[in-house]
Amino acid sequence: MREQTANRIFDTVNFIVLCVCTLICLAPFLHILAISLSSVRPIVSGQVSLFPVELNFEAYFKVFSDPAMIRSLGFTILLTGIFTVLCMVMTIAIGYPLSKKKLKGRKVFMFVVVITMFFSGGIIPEYILIRNLHLLDSMWALVLPGLINPFYLIILISFFNNIPESLEESAEIDGSSHFRTLFSIMLPLSLPVITTLSLFYAVGRWNGFTDTLMYITSPELYPLQLKLYQLIQNNMITELMQMEGAQMATVVPESLKAASVIFATVPILIVYPWLQRYFVSGVMLGAVKG
């Protein structure tokens, strides 16, 4: 009986704490949403908190009627899709062999990878490399340099390592090739981590824009986040505009910024709930070590 009460207390506390955390995480999103739906006066006067004041849909009309914005969304989805698939292929291709303790040279390869977590050539040689490969101002400049994230690779290897060796060995004894073991045993068993890493890669690409600032000059190849960044960053400081003698007509209203944030965030936000099902179906076997 005491145990049941304890369990109930645990559940209640758990529920309440999670509720609070959830609300805290939701609030800023609501705030941005509210701003995107409010009019100029209450926004600039700082009167908008969680609910729209002087409801106004104009910002969304503007976003959705801007062909550049729609095209940018399309491009970003394409870019993220291609990037994520290629990343996963490459990461699995290196992760699987490196999870084999028996593989000769494994440590050296790992070392080659780990070094790149810390050492890099810096922005100038990287730019020159992209230029020499004739990738400047092309989508591939945003795809190829980031194909394997060593950190994600290490996570993948650690998950592979936790799959009982007996399974692989039995497959090997059956004469199954390494490729087949990978496809028929390792990958299905690793679905949750593969989903997770895909999400990491996808979100990283979706949210990243610093490389686009350097490598992309054609507006057709602007990902959403770059447009967003420019909206938010530029014209932020009125002083700068005064100095430049610029005209006020160029200022982007706060509501449009907020609407663009929503526009650029929601598509990637809904990816995770959709992926969550793989988190359950991946469970086929216990793989608890120790």
Query: To the nearest whole angstrom, how small is the minimum distance from the Cβ of residue 287 to other proteins?
Result: 5
Residue 205 structure tokens: 């690409």
Stretch 181-200: interaction string toward other proteins, x if CB under 8 A: -----------xx-xx--xx
Tell whether residue 6 is a contact of other proteins (CB under 8 A): yes
Tell whether residue 164 is a contact of other proteins (CB under 8 A): no
Instruction: Scan for tokens 């006067």, then name that residue.
Output: 45
Site residues (CB under 8 A) for other proteins, limited to 69-88 = none
The answer for residues whose C-beta is within 8 angstroms of residue 118's C-beta and 6 or more apart is: none
**CB-facing half-sphere around the CA of 176: CA atoms within 13 A:** 17
Instruction: Scan for tokens 């730019």, then name that residue.
Output: 127
Tell whether residue 12 is a contact of other proteins (CB under 8 A): no
Site residues (CB under 8 A) for other proteins, limited to 239-278 = 239, 242-250, 252, 261, 265, 268-269, 272-273, 276
Neighbours of 26 (CB within 10 A): 12
Measure the CA–CA gap between 271 and 203, rounded to whole angstroms.
Answer: 9
Site residues (CB under 8 A) for other proteins, limited to 91-110 = 91, 93-94, 96-98, 100, 102-105, 107-110
Query: To the nearest whole angstrom, how small is the minimum distance from the Cβ of residue 107 to other proteins?
Result: 4
Residue type, 23: L
The answer for residues whose C-beta is within 8 angstroms of residue 290's C-beta and 6 or more apart is: none
- List 55, 78, 85, 112, residue binding other proteins (CB under 8 A): 112
Kindly state the helix (H) or strand (E) to which residue 149 belongs, with its residue range.
Answer: none
Instruction: Estimate to the nearest angstrom the gap between the alpha carbon of 170 and the chain centroid.
Output: 37
Query: To the nearest whole angstrom, how small is the minimum distance from the Cβ of residue 271 to other proteins?
Result: 10
Instruction: Scan for tokens 């007509």, then name that residue.
Output: 249
Tell whether residue 5 is a contact of other proteins (CB under 8 A): no
Burial of 102 (0-12, 13-18, 19+ CB in 10 A): exposed
Tell whether residue 179 is a contact of other proteins (CB under 8 A): yes
- List 135, 167, 185, 187, residue binding other proteins (CB under 8 A): 135
- List 1, 166, 173, 288, residue binding other proteins (CB under 8 A): 288
Query: To the nearest whole angstrom, how small is the minimum distance from the Cβ of residue 208 to other proteins?
Result: 11
- List 53, 73, 90, 185, residue binding other proteins (CB under 8 A): 90
